[in-house]
Structure 1
Amino acid sequence: MQAAATSAAIRKLFGTDGVRGVAGDFLTAELALQLARAAAARVHSPGKPARALIIRDTRESGEMLEAAVAAGIAAAGGEALLGGILPTPGAPLLIKRHGFDLGVVISASHNPYRDNGIKFFGGDGYKLSDATEAEIEAALEQPPAVPEHPGRVREFHGALEDYLRALHERFAGLDLSGRRVLLDCANGATFRAAPEIFRRLGADVGVLAHEPDGRNINLDCGSTHTRRLQIAMQASEEDIGFAFDGDGDRVLAVDRNGVLVDGDELIALAALHLRHAGRLPGGGVAVTVMTNYGFHTAMREHGVEVATTPVGDRYVLEELRRRDWALGGEQSGHIIDRNFVPSGDGIAAALLTLEALGTGDLADRAAMEKLPQKLVNVRVADRRALEGAGAVHAAVARESSALAGRGRVLLRPSGTEPVVRVMVEAPTVEEAETVTARLVALVESQLG
């Protein structure tokens, strides 16, 4: 019975973005070591120990987990190279540049400091597949293989400079002289890299939330708490502001008036720019089901094909690979440009935004017209019951038919909570709120 319970628990370690939880509680040093040892063993071959790059964000638990991951890789006979604090996209970029077999990022992205996470990248620079993650989980149930020789742990010097150099090479033609930019680094992994690359490209740079202490990552700052940046933009003379998240794979923008510009709008701006420049492979872009209806309208008007995926940047990336496209992302600010790196990269997306704007002003450049959106999280007894709720699906069909060509309705269960998300987009705020209220009441009565 105990073995079955342990097996069931192990099979639920990986979520949509690696293994994540409270550091020292769920995500212990012991678990980190086991995961890293199992992952390294998968890429180890006789006579060729796995070479793994490890990077992290600024959380106080990062050093502990970094040491545990490094020990796990060495215990499998591999070579662990410590790259230090670096934005998540630095891992796939450096993997490809230096021929690493494995990349490990220790971060919980936009979560509070108590959380941490471990995500793995393969030797091709892409996140490991669901099947490979399942194999790693299954390996934890077996005694670990003992290598002929233990591995090594070493510092990997110059990781930050390598990442900065790659950004500079990609945006070498971007002259930011005279641009006044305000950056919110979320006290996270971008606190050194972001200000430095903007300065190298000539910008006049102001910085917020760039003094990490291990506990202030994402605390009332960054892309999930943009109010501070918005207020600062209203009170300053900067031209544009960017807010990154804790691990640097997301970005949102704020114009000179303090107005927030989300991922949908930034992707739209980038898509039209790249298409005009002849650098939008396949003439298409991939986004998620949460992307605003106005985005689809704008892309249709400009002849850009749109593919829609489930929520999660890994699904966007899978669709881009399947279609051999380059650009995609999420409303939350995950923006992927495979022309540069196969991952969301907040700094690169911010620079791409400025490249798209040229000498223009973000406040005056609308690549799309957003429809009013109303989103309500409805607590339910069992989110899985939504699948068999015939009355709810019938109501969604009726409301969708009434909004056809003008807006849309989306109901989806949360992947982690007893919640059903009800989202409505309509031409007016009043209509969006009215339709949402009807659906929320029905979900509560049927599933509450």
Structure 2
Amino acid sequence: MSRRYFGTDGIRGTVGEYPITADFMLKLGWAMGRVLSRKLSGSQARQKSAQSTRPKVIIGKDTRISGYMFESALEAGLSAAGADVSLLGPMPTPGIAYLTRTFRADAGIVISASHNPYQDNGIKFFSAEGLKLADEVETEIEEELDKPLETMAPNQLGKAVRINDAAGRYIEFCKSTVHNRLELHGLRIVLDCAHGATYHIAPNVFRELGADVSVIGGEPDGLNINQGVGSTHTERLSEAVLARQADLGIAFDGDGDRVLMIDRRGALVDGDEILYIIARDLHARGKLNGGVVGTLMTNFGLAAAFEKQGIPFERAQVGDRYVVERLLANDWLLGGEASGHIVCRNVQTTGDGIVSALQVLAVMVRENAPLEQLLDGFDKTPQSLVNVRLPSGTDARALLESQALRQTVEAVEDELGGSGRVLLRPSGTEPLIRVMVEGRPRFDVQAMAERIANSVETLIA
């Protein structure tokens, strides 16, 4: 069957528009509970009693106001299907991945639209292992969504509890991912929590490790998540680092699975650069155990830097799901995206902004070097990204296959020769075509990207 609901990062939508509504959330919780119950009922190891076959699901959320409504709807649907629910409240997405394993839950759910504004929302799912749900499980859930909702008998309904120490547990986990003697005393850090799910977690982690911490974007009101702050808006953080003469700044997105950094000069350090710092350190210490997975958007210069250092490198499709798939297939430990989604499989199962930032800080302390110095050996290739918004109903993939557009792309590729590349892809979350061109400094990659974008706009006019 075709996949109608699940994308590469769970289910996304806008409040009040199909499919993300309270009614849909109720049905989704019920469908997931049904699938989990069926799987547990078929497990001989868990058939000792009726209680042992009741699935356990934990639910966390970011700080957007719609999370309260959707949390209640999911809880009701899961309970109606006979699943027990543990509510964690505001919690970073990677915290749910960790706590799903810690509480021995059968699945974890995060109510979040990540770096999007408060009007949007979405659902992310984790398996018992803290990984994204398998495709076959998502397909089973979609099949259940087509069936009429049937509530379990009163004595078979699931129960719900609220876990009050979830934040403390996750804080201790984050600290445990670096050496127990790591101390950040003397480091002045500005954190940007995007008015999101890290607001009550990240400041405590870095303060408890000894850093002098200032915070912006740490006062969520349900409507201001990602609003002019966070990893998609780093201008305020850069200004704060300079004004406070800090050693660095750290910016998270709304659900805390991405991180970008600002060096002491106010310059942005993106996900490719963070990936380089961590990989170079692990490789130098003989702990990389393989290579690094990037994506089609990973900077040309990063691949070149890894080649010089003898570090294997592979590109995956854009999206953390695909990065993790390639890491698991290769049994490698490190991968990520320029957007700041960094996966350190040696310490976490998914992208984790706080954990990734700690890995970088540990390198700074070990080498007694400022952030910008850790980028020696990485010459980033100039890159330009232009987004073209598509009218409703446009077939993006058919558009990308048009002969006129392909001719424009081929002309730019001929100009670049072997010193750059072109990438066109539809956005996974918005009605956009993303046009990326990168090449050596002698090329005007911005003009090249705009030329291709103009070709796209001509086709949709």
Partner of 1:319: 326
Partner of 2:30: 37
Q: Secondary structure at the match of 2:350?
A: strand
Q: Secondary structure at the match of 2:266?
A: coil
* CA–CA distance in structure 2, aligned partners of residues 191 and 413 of structure 1: 32
Q: Secondary structure at the match of 1:81?
A: strand
Partner of 1:371: 381
- Deviation by residue 1:272-322 (Cα, 9 ceiling, x = unmatched): 11112222122x111111111111111111111111111111111111111
* CA–CA distance in structure 1, aligned partners of residues 102 and 389 of structure 2: 46
Of 70, 75, 78, 2:80 maps to: 75
Q: Is 2:354 aligned against 1:347?
A: yes
- TM-score, normalised with respect to structure 2: 0.90
- Deviation by residue 1:111-138 (Cα, 9 ceiling, x = unmatched): 1112221111111211112332222122
Q: Secondary structure at the match of 1:202?
A: coil
Q: Secondary structure at the match of 1:270?
A: helix
Alignment of 1:67-106 (within 5 A): 67-106=72-111
Q: Which amino acid aligns with 1:275?
A: H
Q: Which amino acid aligns with 1:384?
A: R
Q: Is the 8 A contact 2:8 2:428 kept in 1?
A: no
- What is the deviation of 1:389? 2.2
Alignment of 1:192-207 (within 5 A): 192-207=200-215
Q: Which amino acid aligns with 2:203?
A: P
Q: Is the 8 A contact 2:334 2:345 kept in 1?
A: yes
Q: Which amino acid aligns with 2:293?
A: A
- Stretches of structure 1 lacking an aligned partner (at least 5 in a row): 1-6
Of 7, 21, 25, 2:13 maps to: 21
- What is the deviation of 1:235? 1.4
Change (3 A) 1:419 1:103: closer
- TM-score, normalised with respect to structure 1: 0.93
Q: Secondary structure at the match of 2:108?
A: strand
- What is the deviation of 1:28? 1.7
Q: Is the 8 A contact 2:7 2:428 kept in 1?
A: no
Partner of 2:371: 362
Q: Is the 8 A contact 1:107 1:247 kept in 2?
A: yes
Partner of 2:452: 439
Partner of 1:191: 199
* CA–CA distance in structure 2, aligned partners of residues 446 and 192 of structure 1: 47
- What is the deviation of 1:417? 5.0
Q: Is the 8 A contact 1:243 1:253 kept in 2?
A: yes
Partner of 1:108: 113
* CA–CA distance in structure 2, aligned partners of residues 276 and 97 of structure 1: 32
Deviates most, 301-310 or 378-387: 378-387
Partner of 1:390: 403
Q: Is 2:270 aligned against 1:270?
A: no
Partner of 1:336: 343
Change (3 A) 1:116 1:363: same
Of 257, 276, 299, 2:265 maps to: 257
- Deviation by residue 1:206-254 (Cα, 9 ceiling, x = unmatched): 1111111111111111101111101111211210100101100011000
Q: Is the 8 A contact 2:206 2:213 kept in 1?
A: yes
Partner of 1:3: none
* CA–CA distance in structure 2, aligned partners of residues 238 and 418 of structure 1: 39
Q: Is the 8 A contact 1:263 1:331 kept in 2?
A: yes
Q: Is 2:302 aligned against 1:310?
A: no
Q: Which amino acid aligns with 2:436?
A: M
Partner of 2:65: 60
Partner of 1:208: 216
- What is the deviation of 1:22? 2.3
Partner of 1:297: 304
* CA–CA distance in structure 1, aligned partners of residues 15 and 347 of structure 2: 32
Q: Is 2:429 aligned against 1:428?
A: no
Q: Secondary structure at the match of 2:157?
A: coil
* CA–CA distance in structure 2, aligned partners of residues 437 and 117 of structure 1: 32
Q: Secondary structure at the match of 1:65?
A: helix
Q: Is 2:233 aligned against 1:225?
A: yes
Q: Is the 8 A contact 1:40 1:102 kept in 2?
A: no
- What is the deviation of 1:158? 1.4
Change (3 A) 1:429 1:68: farther
Change (3 A) 1:321 1:429: same
Q: Is the 8 A contact 1:187 1:210 kept in 2?
A: yes
Over the aligned positions, Cα root-mean-square deviation in angstroms equals 2.0
Q: Which amino acid aligns with 2:318?
A: V
Change (3 A) 1:442 1:58: closer
Q: Percent identity?
A: 46
Q: Is the 8 A contact 2:295 2:315 kept in 1?
A: yes
Question: Number of paired residues?
Answer: 439
* CA–CA distance in structure 1, aligned partners of residues 447 and 217 of structure 2: 39
* CA–CA distance in structure 1, aligned partners of residues 285 and 352 of structure 2: 21
Q: Secondary structure at the match of 1:316?
A: helix
* CA–CA distance in structure 1, aligned partners of residues 207 and 430 of structure 2: 42
Of 290, 294, 298, 1:287 maps to: 294
Partner of 2:46: none
Q: Is the 8 A contact 1:286 1:320 kept in 2?
A: yes
* CA–CA distance in structure 2, aligned partners of residues 100 and 194 of structure 1: 24
Q: Is the 8 A contact 1:255 1:363 kept in 2?
A: yes
Partner of 1:239: 247
Q: Which amino acid aligns with 2:139?
A: A
Q: Secondary structure at the match of 2:322?
A: helix
Q: Is 2:408 aligned against 1:408?
A: no
Q: Is the 8 A contact 1:382 1:447 kept in 2?
A: no
* CA–CA distance in structure 2, aligned partners of residues 340 and 179 of structure 1: 23
Q: Secondary structure at the match of 2:444?
A: helix
Q: Secondary structure at the match of 2:93?
A: coil
